[in-house]
Amino acid sequence: MQLQRTDAKVAVTKRVVEAIDCREHSVGFDKVGQVTTPLSSLPRELKSDLLLEGEEAVFVDLSYAHHCFLPRLLNDRIDYHRRNAVWMGCFILDGSFGALFVASNTRPGTVARLEAERLGLIEFLNTGDYYSKLGKDGENRDSVKKLANTVLNLTNQKAVRIPLYRSMRKRFPATFGIVEDLKRKDHRNISNPLRHYTAKSVENALLQLQFRGILAIPQTDALLCQRRHRESVCRALGAAVFKVSRGVSCRVDGIRYEHPERQQKRLHSHKRTTPQNA
């Protein structure tokens, strides 16, 4: 069985290499909008040898990709409650004042509570190292990273047995309440919106780069680009994630995106606190 899997992997790799060599590229889309190309099946050890239009190429990848879009799940829930908020209208009938109420299941303060957690989660994602902050002091970051990504896709019953998940849920209860709602019937359901928002961000970045004449090829939560355009591609993907996630300033290949308005505020604040020369 192991030999069969190895033979199949070799055959796939051979087809991918031949497609790249002959420039017989194909592009597809899966059910959540993720773009697929022959590069999607290229083994990791061969990716460093890729050239793009004869130039050295690099992959720039999005850090803690699916976690970046947890605030978007909160945002979607907030939008739902706002659409179903209590509405009151008034009318005049035969000279008498009347009122019309349309009730909803939204409890008072729900939107404010969700919005407060959304902003707190965005701040948590936007500052420092996300995985290091999730773990305990001295805990290995790579282990935390692997476990944090694993528990997000486990069944609710399995996830709650893991201390890291319980810690995440305690810190952001509304967020993981939504996650658990999505996974209640089938734990695989959580991947669909998160993969969709990742794919949407990559698509938006590709369109922006195409407009600017910068070559880029998508691969899940990463983009292949010429090394000389690395920083521009990182910022384009960061800007796309910021827009789709509704405010997350993610890291792309180590470069944290900073929204222009926030950058201006920071620079203005710096000028105000810097002593002026006499």
Q: What is the pLDDT along the chain (278 residues), one digit of tens a residue?
A: 444 456 556 665 666 666 566 666 666 667 777 777 767 667 777 777 788 888 999 999 999 999 999 999 999 999 998 887 655 454 444 544 444 444 455 676 899 999 999 999 999 999 999 999 999 888 999 999 999 999 999 999 999 999 999 999 999 999 999 999 999 999 999 999 999 999 999 999 999 999 999 999 888 889 999 999 999 999 999 999 999 999 999 999 999 999 877 666 655 554 555 555 54
- Give CA separation, 32 vs 192, 218, 270, in Å: 6, 14, 43
180 and 198 both lie in a single domain = no
228 and 162 both lie in a single domain = no
Residue 222, in any domain of the structure? yes
243 and 227 both lie in a single domain = yes
Choose among 164, 157, 163: nearest CA to 186.
Answer: 157
Mark which of 190, 209, 235 sits at the end of a domain.
Answer: 190
**For position 150, what pLDDT does the model report?**
95
Residue 145, in any domain of the structure? yes
Please report where in the chains the tokens 């290995």 appear, as a residue: 140
Residue 57, in any domain of the structure? yes
130 and 213 both lie in a single domain = no
Residue 40, in any domain of the structure? yes
Mark which of 146, 161, 190 sits at the end of a domain.
Answer: 190
Mark which of 133, 162, 190 sits at the end of a domain.
Answer: 190
**For position 276, what pLDDT does the model report?**
56
Return phi, psi of residue 185, to 5°.
-85, -35
Residue 3, in any domain of the structure? no
56 and 110 both lie in a single domain = no
171 and 200 both lie in a single domain = no
181 and 116 both lie in a single domain = yes
**For position 260, what pLDDT does the model report?**
77
Residue 275, in any domain of the structure? no
205 and 151 both lie in a single domain = no
**For position 52, what pLDDT does the model report?**
84
- Cα separation of 130 and 151, whole Å? 15
Q: Residue 28 sits in a domain of what CATH number?
A: 3.30.70
**For position 24, what pLDDT does the model report?**
63
**For position 25, what pLDDT does the model report?**
65
239 and 256 both lie in a single domain = yes
Query: Based on the structure, what is the number of domains in the chain?
Result: 2
Pairing mode of beta strands 251-252, 255-256 = antiparallel
77 and 152 both lie in a single domain = yes
167 and 73 both lie in a single domain = yes
The pTM (predicted TM-score) of the whole model is 0.81
Return phi, psi of residue 62, to 5°.
-85, 125
**For position 255, what pLDDT does the model report?**
95
Domain housing 255: 20-66+193-265
CB of 225 closer than 8 Å to CB of 214:
yes
47 and 71 both lie in a single domain = no
